[in-house]
Structures are given as structure tokens and as C-alpha cells.
């Protein structure tokens, strides 16, 4: 109660714990504070907050390089740590070379125009992210869509496209790029990568894999969907990913062959015109990668990877037991569960917030009008107590909002007391 | 004639016809009997031929085997063209902060390449603010603004910038390049009209492309060309009476591609006359011009209400990363749901937002930096103008100084090769210059040159040394 009184007077609380974020009312700045369990941020490996290995090194790099280089990569924005990061990313993903950008959205929207232009065809999954759509539109190539995660439909679209050629002129396409994502964050589904790769290889199309959510979170050593599906990274032509989610930083990367990266560095506007990635953010990724790879001398990385998998599977299992309709595949740390009714969107979110749990709810136009959902992002830093608290609150609110669309498998309270 | 009479006539004629001999024709000199039968047969034959369908080859869809064959025969272009020597350019690698002096290959060099106009790189107040933010929030914000990625420092920074510029509200973007690309398509759709300068930077070009509006360009920084375009639009309106649509003029305060300053007061006068709205990109002028450092509009005494939308990247004078868009509350609120780079991208890392807040505070308190920058620009320009073989471009007040070859070698590629040689040799003399590169995707056709970014923290002695070295190097290269 004392805390509540303090908060109502508008005093900031200074301490900050790893898995809690101080929340503020966004719309009208009431200056009220509330401690919440954060089930909403993309913090899969728990690097979001101050970390014992990463933060001191980040502060050192801040001292050496300042928060910004005020320059593009090609002028004087390339520092030794940028080069180090590019080498590390290439090594991590299993490609010969990589390049980094300062923003994940800009990575897609400036690389796709550099790779393909008029006379080319982009075949994109129907549920691809808006950055891919922006990049595809900006490139000038024709765009066709295939049914979400359906390799057979992709094959059909490819066959038709190659047989018919460009519309009106019927000239053969200059090149075809198939764009897919590693994890689709609104569905929690993993890409059927091995099948899609075999289709694209059969028809000589290039494949561009966007691992924004899956890098660092999926796969035994965090190397993403390729590792999970057993696909050789050499078969993927262009691998893209972001550092925002699993590495607790900002920015994105493109990995590919040495020649591809040399060419992209020469052409991509994100490299030539955009301010280079902030050096402390670069250092954060380098340190996070070192932890994940175990090069920091400890096994924290391996433990984090195992923890996020365990946490996600536990949470998903419990949500299913409760009777909630959870979407997505095993091992995916992002799990949406259905609300369906658009009226339940604000109800669910606000009731959870009242009980100090922060969840994200998504409606139209990110999802179809009647397929609204709530989305939970699990982190390696969540302890079992945190997860149980979250489950309890979600169960309570789901009961209120009648979200338990499926029959309960066993009584949830029985499970909790075990 | 009676009914009976008619019927009788008919039967009589029928009987006559039937009684008539079967053929009575002479065909090619041969007498043939039974002409009635022949004519009937002819009529039947003609009718049959007429009723025949004309020959049309059947439309058959491609068989599976044919599709297979086409797929096998199709040869795609390689993913990227062959690598040329030009593509293998390696930029200089810094080993320290990109301040007025930096370390490249273990050597301390004078840095004229980073747009650190007010010398805020390495500032201790900014570093302190960043450290505090790193302790409190870590590095990344782990989510878009709409999904619990809004940190209090974002709101503080938006309020700070709005207060600094004197506008009602501001929206933050996490990257300078994405600001124009998201702000312009949020307001302009298919069917709208945009008149833009032909020398705008790639970020704005991308925004114009994504907006799908009708784009008309006017000659670079030429106010009469802009007026002509506006007049053309006005005349067309009078003639055609088309439906009402949104109209914008897009200009930059200091053009990134040429360093020229836009005559903003004239442009505002024109926009009011012809009822257009205006987007101004103040990336290279914020913090530098105006009594309080508010930007070009303050420098030219234009009330900020007359500029509809101000966009700027914070990667220049503010020594941070990111961008913002400022304007009326409606303008800003609309972008919170329609700005692609705002809704679908993670928010700015909190420590960079803190750095920007500290930078804006420094600009508000310390007016000396602006004066130093102007002095340095004037000093450098005086010295550089004495170098034979190079001409100075850009506005006299612009912190971006472009150097072009006085006598072109005949082609852009040739000029660039010479300028690149100059830049390389200058690096050996411990001066870091840059030849502004253009991507093939860039539509801007202005010539490129050596781009010098002057900073308030450059020492005059360093600037003098640069001019002298440059004179030597240019002389030696052009004489060979």
C-alpha cells in the first residue's frame, strides 16, 4: 500500500529487475507506475536488461566510440567493432560473409530493392511482415503470394510463373526470389523450411529467409530455423535477421556469399545512406553472441537456450491444458492464443494489466477481423514462479472473458498445486 | 382476289413446278435436265457451307510435360552481377570515436567525414545520460512502440523536441533513413500530387516511391522551376476540374546531395499562394541555424506553424541515431497508426533517446557551438577556394562543403576516379575525407564530389593543414 501511495504522488521508482518493466499509461501520461510481469517484449534470451557480461562491455564501447558515429558505413561509420560483428554473425549463421544495418525494418526494405528490380518476381508468403512488403514494393519487381507455409502451393505458383513469364510481354522472368520467414510471429508457426528449399532449388528460384524472430531462439545452439530443420545454410541464398529480439539490441544483418555481400555493400542504400549502427548496440550483439556461443567462458548461453525452450513448451502445455486455443509449433517462444471476438481485445489486455501482467493483444489489420488474438513472448529470464503467476492471471481473465474454447484437459488448479 | 382463288393459284403453280422437267439447264454447253433439283441442291450446299463453323485451332492449356520443360529450360540471372573492382571498395575502419580527430590504421587523422556538426561526439554529458540509461534499461527496447516498447525516455524526447521546435507534437522513428520513407507514404496515397526537388536524398525518394502518388520534379533548388511546376498544375486544374486531392511540396533545408540551402521563405510563400502543403527535411540544419538552433525556418524567420511537416534525422548535429517528425497533433497522431517504420519496427533504444535529450539540452543552453561552426565553415571555405583545380559547391553557410573538379574529365566515372585518388592520398597525409558515393538505385543525377562535413570542434590549425595538404595533393594529381 505504501508503494501505491508513493507511486500515486508521481515519484519514480529507480530499481529495475530483469524481468519486470516499469509500465506507464501511454495514451495520457498519468505518471502512475505499476510493476508488471512482462509477457510481451521480444526478449527471448533475456538480454533486454542490464546483463552481467554484456553491459560493462557496452559501457566501455560507449566510452571509446560514443553513442553514434554520425556517419554512414561507407564514409567513416565503419569501426573495428562493426567488422568484428560482421565476422561473428557470418560465423554464427554459417555463411561466408555478413553485413549489418542499424535497423531491422530498413534491412528488408533496402536489401530487396538492391537484389531484384523490374523484370523480376518476388513470391512471398501471404503472412509476411510489412518490412518485406515495403521492400518488395520499393524494388519494382512483380509480387505474387503463396498460401501461408504451404510448399505445394508455392510449387504451383512457381510453375505457373515460369511457364507464363512476365505479364503482357510474356518474356521470361529475370529472376525469382521466394521470401519466407523463420517464425511467423502472429501465428507462432515455424517455417517448413526443408520442403520450401527443395521446391525452390528444383525451380532455380532464390530463397530469402527472414529470421527476425527465430535467430537466437530456435535451434539447439540458437542458429535458427536452418539448424532446427536440418537445412544446410549454404542452400539459403540470402539469410536475414534482426538483433532486436534475441540479442537485446537493435539492427539487422544480411548473410550470404562473399560476392553477394560485396555487391550489397556497393548498392544497398541502407549501407550507403543510413547512419551506421550505434557502437554500443554493436557491442551488445557481440557480447550476446559470445555468451550464446559459450565464448565468454561460461555455459550461460547454453542454459539460456535450454531455458527458453523449456519455458515455452511448459507455458504452451499449460495454456492448452487450461483450454485456451493456442496456435503455433513446439519450441516456438512466441505463442498467440485466440480471442476471436474483437470486443475481447481491450478487455483481455486491461484486465491482465490490472492484475499486473502485461500481454499484447492484436486485432485487425494485423490479423483478420474476426481472428483477434493475444500473444505471449516467453523469455529465458522468466522463472517458473513468473510463468505460474502469468498462467494464473491468464486463467482468471480467460474465465472472465470466456476464452477457454477447448475443453480443459485436467483441472488447472490441480496442476498448479503439484 | 378471293381466298379460294389464291389457293387455286398456288396449287396450280405447284403442279406446274412439279410437272416441269427435272432439269433444264445448260451448263458449259451441256444440256442437263432437272434444273429445279439442281438449284435446290445448290441452295442446300450453300446453306451447309455457311452454317459450317470457321476453323479455329483449339485453345489447349499447357500440359504438365510442357510446363516441366519450360521450367527446365528457364535460366535465371545470377542473384548479383559479377563483382567489379569498383565494388570492392573498402571504407576506412575507425578505431576510436568519429570525432574531429579519429584513429585509422593506428594513426590519428583529421576527420572531415562524419556529420558531427556541433562536435557532440565524445561529449561527457551525453555519455553520462547514456550510461544511466544503459544501467536502467539495457540496450534494446525489445518491441515496437505499440507492443510495450514505449519507454518513458521516448515520451520525454518527443516532448522535448516538440518544446524545442515550438510545434505541438513529435513522433520518433528508430532510424533516420526510415523517417522520410514512413512519413511521406502515411500522408500521400495514389492520386495525390507531390512536387519534389530533383536532388532529394534516397530516403525521401523511397518515401515518394512507396506513396504511389504522382510525382513531379523541379530543377534542383531552382525557385523559378518550382513556380513553373505549380503554375502548370494550377492551369491544369482550371482546365480539367479534377477531383480534389492532397498536394505536397517536398524539399530539404540543406540538401544532402549538394549542400545547397533551400530558399524556404520563397517556397512557403509559393505554397500559400497555390494551396499546397510542405514537407521539409531538416536533417542537416537542425541545431545549426536560427537564433536558438531550431533550424532553417527560424533562420529565415518563418513561423513554425507555416511548415506543415518537419522531418529530421538525429544522426547529424544531435550526434545520436534515429529520426523524428514534428508538426500539428493531427499530423503526429496519424503517423502513430500509419507510419510503417513506427508501427512495425522496434522502437529506438532508450540510451539513444537519452543521448538525444541531452544533445537537445546542450543545444538550448550552449549557443557558442553554433558560432564556432559558422566560423569554421567560413574559415575552411576561404582556404579551400584558393585551391586551383577544385571548385566549391554548396551554400556559404552550409556545414556540408562539396568540392568538385574545376575541369571535368568528361565522364562521371572519370571524375570520380580522380577524386577518389585525391581522397586516398589525403588519407596518407592523415586527413579523412570522403567521396560521396551514390547507389545505382538512387535517381538523383547531380554530380558527386568530395564531401566535407565541418564540425564546431575542429581546430583552425587542423583546417588550415587540411587546405594546404589538399592543395599539394590536387596539384600533384592533376599535373600527372
Q: Give how far A74 is from chain B: nearest CA, Å.
A: 5
φ, ψ of residue B343 in degrees (nearest 5): -80, -35
pLDDT digits (tens, 9 = 90+) for A315-374: 999 999 999 999 988 889 999 999 999 999 999 999 999 999 989 999 887 888 999 999
pLDDT digits (tens, 9 = 90+) for A294-313: 888 888 889 999 999 999 99
Confidence (pLDDT) at A10: 25
**Mean pLDDT within A245-274:** 93
Q: If you measure CA to CA, which chain B residue comes closest to A79? A: B94
**Region of poorest pLDDT, from A144-153, A254-263, B27-36, B356-365:** B27-36
Q: Is A100 helix (H, G, I), strand (E, B) or coil?
A: strand
Q: How far apart are CA A257 and CA A267, in angstroms?
A: 15
Residues of chain B in contact with residue A357, where contact means CB-CB under 8 angstroms, are none
Q: Is B437 on the interface with A (CB under 8 A)?
A: yes
In this structure, whether the domain defined by B95-111+367-479 belongs to CATH 3.20.20.150 is answered with no
Choose, out of A14, A66, A185, the residue to mutate when testing the contact with B (most B CBs < 10 Å): A66
CA angle A158, A161, A165 (to 5 degrees): 150
| Residues facing A337 on adjacent strands | A326, A374
pLDDT digits (tens, 9 = 90+) for B95-109: 999 889 999 989 999
Q: How confident is the model at residue B148 (pLDDT cuts 50, 70, 90)?
A: confident
Q: Check the CA dihedral B181-B186-B188-B189 and report its sign.
A: positive
Strands (E), B14-124: 23-27, 30-34, 101-104, 107-111
- Neighbour order of strands in the sheet with B431-432: B101-104, B107-111, B431-432
> Which residues are CB-neighbours of B187 under 8 A, at least 6 positions away?
B211, B246, B248, B309, B331, B334
Q: How confident is the model at residue B328 (pLDDT cuts 50, 70, 90)?
A: very high
Of A62, A106, A264, the CB nearest to B175: A106
**Mean pLDDT within A110-131:** 93
**Mean pLDDT within A243-250:** 91
Q: How confident is the model at residue B26 (pLDDT cuts 50, 70, 90)?
A: low
Of B89, B202, B451, the CB nearest to A273: B202
Q: Is A376 on the interface with B (CB under 8 A)?
A: no
Of B152, B202, B341, the CB nearest to A269: B202
**Mean pLDDT within B201-224:** 93
Q: How confident is the model at residue A7 (pLDDT cuts 50, 70, 90)?
A: very low
If residue A151 lies in a helix (H) or strand (E), which one and from where to where?
helix A151-164
Residue B298 has pLDDT above 50, yes or no: yes
Alpha helices in A299-343 (DSSP H): 300-322
CATH of domain B124-365: 3.40.640.10
Choose, out of A250, A308, A358, A367, the residue to mutate when testing the contact with B (most B CBs < 10 Å): A250
Residues of chain A in contact with residue B95, where contact means CB-CB under 8 angstroms, are 79-80
Residue B271 has pLDDT above 60, yes or no: yes
- Are A266 and B111 within 8 A, CB to CB? no
Q: How far apart are CA B336 and CA B347, in angstroms?
A: 12
Q: Is B284 on the interface with A (CB under 8 A)?
A: no
Q: How far apart are CA B33 and CA B325, in angstroms?
A: 101
User: Are B172 and B312 a contacting pair, CB within 8 Å?
Assistant: no
Q: How confident is the model at residue A148 (pLDDT cuts 50, 70, 90)?
A: very high
Choose, out of B139, B203, B430, the residue to mutate when testing the contact with A (most A CBs < 10 Å): B139
Confidence (pLDDT) at A366: 81
Q: Is A80 on the interface with B (CB under 8 A)?
A: yes
Q: How confident is the model at residue A240 (pLDDT cuts 50, 70, 90)?
A: very high
Q: How far apart are CA A401 and CA A329, in angstroms?
A: 25
**Mean pLDDT within B146-161:** 91
Residue B479 has pLDDT above 70, yes or no: yes
Q: How confident is the model at residue B25 (pLDDT cuts 50, 70, 90)?
A: low
Q: Is A175 on the interface with B (CB under 8 A)?
A: yes
Q: If you measure CA to CA, which chain B residue comes closest to A237? A: B79
Q: Where are the domains of chain B?
A: 1-75, 95-111+367-479, 124-365
pTM: 0.87
Q: Is B459 on the interface with A (CB under 8 A)?
A: no
- Are B175 and A110 within 8 A, CB to CB? no
Size of interface A-B (CB pairs under 8 A): 301
pLDDT digits (tens, 9 = 90+) for B343-363: 899 999 999 999 999 999 999
Q: Give how far B348 is from chain A: nearest CA, Å.
A: 8
Q: Is B441 on the interface with A (CB under 8 A)?
A: yes
Q: Give how far A76 is from chain B: nearest CA, Å.
A: 6
pLDDT digits (tens, 9 = 90+) for A14-43: 222 222 233 332 345 777 788 888 888 888
Q: Is A350 on the interface with B (CB under 8 A)?
A: no
The pLDDT > 70 percentage for chain B reads 96
- Are A77 and B355 within 8 A, CB to CB? no
**Mean pLDDT within B268-286:** 93
Nearest to A19 by CA among A349, A355, A283, A387: A387
Q: What part of B 57-86 touches A (C-beta under 8 Å)?
A: 62, 66-67, 70-71, 74-81, 83, 86
Choose, out of B95, B138, B157, B173, the residue to mutate when testing the contact with A (most A CBs < 10 Å): B138
Amino acid at each position: 500500500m505504501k508503494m501505491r501511495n508513493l507511486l500515486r504522488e508521481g515519484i519514480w521508482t529507480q530499481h529495475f529487475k530483469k524481468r519486470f518493466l516499469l509500465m506507464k499509461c501511454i495514451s495520457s501520461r498519468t505518471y502512475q507506475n505499476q510493476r508488471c510481469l512482462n509477457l510481451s517484449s521480444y526478449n527471448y534470451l533475456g538480454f533486454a536488461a542490464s546483463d552481467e557480461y554484456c553491459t560493462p562491455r557496452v559501457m566501455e564501447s560507449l566510452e571509446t566510440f560514443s553513442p553514434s558515429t554520425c556517419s554512414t558505413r561507407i564514409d567513416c561509420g565503419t569501426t573495428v567493432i562493426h567488422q568484428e560483428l560482421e565476422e561473428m554473425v557470418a560465423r554464427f549463421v554459417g555463411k561466408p560473409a555478413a553485413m549489418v544495418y542499424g535497423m531491422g525494418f530498413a534491412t528488408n526494405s533496402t536489401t530487396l530493392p538492391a537484389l531484384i528490380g523490374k523484370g523480376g518476381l518476388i513470391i512471398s508468403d501471404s503472412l509476411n511482415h510489412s518490412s518485406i512488403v515495403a521492400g518488395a514494393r520499393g524494388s519494382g519487381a512483380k509480387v505474387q503470394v503463396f498460401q501461408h507455409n504451404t510448399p505445394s502451393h508455392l510449387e504451383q505458383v512457381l510453375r505457373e510463373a515460369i511457364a507464363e513469364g512476365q505479364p503482357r510481354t510474356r518474356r521470361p522472368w529475370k529472376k525469382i526470389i521466394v521470401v519466407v520467414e523463420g517464425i511467423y510471429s502472429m501465428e507462432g508457426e515455424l517455417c517448413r523450411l526443408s520442403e520450401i528449399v527443395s521446391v525452390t532449388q528444383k525451380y532455380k528460384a532464390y530463397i530469402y529467409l527472414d529470421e527476425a524472430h527465430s535467430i537466437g531462439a530456435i535451434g539447439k545452439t540458437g542458429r535458427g530455423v536452418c539448424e532446427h530443420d536440418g537445412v544446410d545454410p549454404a542452400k539459403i541464398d540470402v539469410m536475414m535477421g534482426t538483433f532486436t529480439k534475441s540479442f537485446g539490441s537493435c539492427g539487422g544483418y544480411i548473410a550470404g556469399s562473399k560476392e553477394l555481400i560485396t555487391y550489397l555493400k556497393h548498392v544497398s542504400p541502407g549501407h550507403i545512406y543510413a547512419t551506421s549502427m550505434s557502437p554500443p548496440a554493436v557491442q551488445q550483439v557481440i557480447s550476446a553472441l559470445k555468451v550464446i556461443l559459450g565464448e565468454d567462458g561460461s555455459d550461460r548461453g547454453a542454459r539460456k537456450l535450454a531455458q527458453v525452450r523449456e519455458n515455452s513448451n511448459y507455458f504452451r502445455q499449460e495454456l492448452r491444458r487450461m483450454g485456451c486455443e493456442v496456435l503455433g509449433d513446439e519450441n516456438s517462444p512466441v505463442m498467440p492464443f485466440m480471442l476471436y471476438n474483437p470486443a475481447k481485445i481491450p478487455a483481455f489486455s486491461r484486465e491482465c494489466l490490472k492484475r499486473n501482467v502485461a500481454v499484447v493483444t492484436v486485432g485487425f489489420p494485423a490479423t483478420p477481423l474476426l481472428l483477434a488474438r493475444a500473444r505471449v513472448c516467453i523469455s529465458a529470464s522468466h522463472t517458473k514462479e513468473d510463468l505460474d503467476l502469468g498462467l494464473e492471471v491468464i486463467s482468471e481473465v480467460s474465465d472472465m472473458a470466456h476464452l477457454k474454447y477447448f475443453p480443459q484437459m485436467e483441472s488447472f488448479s490441480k496442476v498448479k498445486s503439484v | 382476289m378471293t381466298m379460294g382463288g389464291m389457293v387455286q393459284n398456288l396449287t396450280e403453280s405447284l403442279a406446274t413446278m412439279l410437272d416441269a422437267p427435272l432439269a433444264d439447264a445448260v451448263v458449259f454447253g451441256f444440256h442437263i435436265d432437272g434444273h429445279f433439283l439442281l438449284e435446290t441442291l445448290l441452295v442446300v450446299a450453300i446453306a451447309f457451307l455457311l452454317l459450317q463453323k470457321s476453323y479455329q485451332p483449339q485453345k489447349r492449356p499447357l500440359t504438365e510435360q510442357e510446363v516441366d520443360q519450360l521450367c527446365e529450360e528457364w535460366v535465371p540471372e545470377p542473384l548479383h552481377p559479377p563483382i567489379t573492382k569498383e565494388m570492392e571498395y573498402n571504407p576506412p575502419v575507425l578505431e576510436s570515436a568519429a570525432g574531429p580527430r579519429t584513429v585509422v590504421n593506428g594513426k590519428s587523422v583529421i576527420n572531415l567525414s562524419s556529420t558531427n556538426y556541433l562536435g557532440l561526439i565524445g561529449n561527457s554529458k551525453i555519455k553520462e545520460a547514456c550510461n544511466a540509461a544503459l544501467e536502467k534499461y539495457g540496450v534494446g527496447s525489445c518491441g515496437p512502440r505499440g507492443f510495450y516498447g514505449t519507454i518513458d525516455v521516448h515520451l520525454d524526447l518527443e516532448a522535448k523536441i516538440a518544446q524545442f521546435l515550438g510545434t505541438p507534437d513529435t513522433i520518433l522513428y528508430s532510424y533516420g533513413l526510415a523517417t522520410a520513407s514512413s512519413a511521406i507514404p502515411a500522408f500521400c496515397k495514389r492520386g495525390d500530387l507531390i512536387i519534389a526537388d530533383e536532388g532529394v536524398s534516397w530516403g525521401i525518394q523511397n518515401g515518394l516511391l512507396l506513396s504511389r502518388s504522382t510525382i513531379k520534379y523541379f530543377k534542383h533548388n531552382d525557385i523559378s522551376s518550382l513556380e513553373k511546376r505549380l503554375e502548370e498544375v494550377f492551369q491544369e486544374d482550371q482546365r480539367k476540374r479534377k477531383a480534389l486531392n492532397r498536394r505536397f511540396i517536398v524539399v530539404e533545408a540543406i540538401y544532402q546531395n549538394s549542400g545547397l540551402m533551400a530558399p524556404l521563405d520563397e517556397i512557403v510563400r509559393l505554397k500559400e499562394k497555390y494551396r499546397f502543403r510542405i514537407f521539409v527535411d531538416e536533417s542537416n540544419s537542425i541545431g545549426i541555424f536560427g537564433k536558438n538552433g531550431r533550424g532553417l525556418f527560424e533562420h529565415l524567420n518563418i513561423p513554425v506553424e507555416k511548415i506543415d511537416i518537419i522531418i529530421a534525422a538525429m544522426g547529424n548535429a544531435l550526434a545520436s541515431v534515429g529520426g523524428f517528425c514534428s508538426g500539428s497533433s493531427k499530423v503526429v497522431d496519424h503517423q502513430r497508426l500509419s507510419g510503417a517504420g513506427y508501427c512495425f519496427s522496434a522502437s529506438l533504444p532508450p540510451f539513444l533517446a537519452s543521448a538525444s535529450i541531452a544533445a537537445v539540452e546542450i543545444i538550448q543552453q550552449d549557443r557558442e557551438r553554433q558560432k564556432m561552426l559558422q566560423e569554421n565553415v567560413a574559415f575552411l571555405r576561404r582556404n579551400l577556394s584558393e585551391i586551383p583545380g577544385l571548385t566549391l559547391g554548396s551554400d556559404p553557410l552550409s556545414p556540408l562543403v562539396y568540392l568538385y573538379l574545376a575541369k571535368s574529365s568528361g565522364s562521371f566515372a572519370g571524375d570520380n576516379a580522380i577524386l577518389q585518388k585525391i581522397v586516398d592520398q589525403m588519407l596518407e597525409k592523415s586527413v579523412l575525407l570522403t567521396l560521396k558515393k551514390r547507389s545505382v538505385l538512387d535517381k538523383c543525377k547531380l554530380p558527386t564530389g568530395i564531401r566535407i562535413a565541418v564540425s564546431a570542434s575542429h581546430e583552425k590549425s587542423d583546417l588550415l593543414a587540411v587546405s594546404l595538404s589538399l592543395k599539394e595533393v590536387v596539384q600533384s594529381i592533376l599535373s600527372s
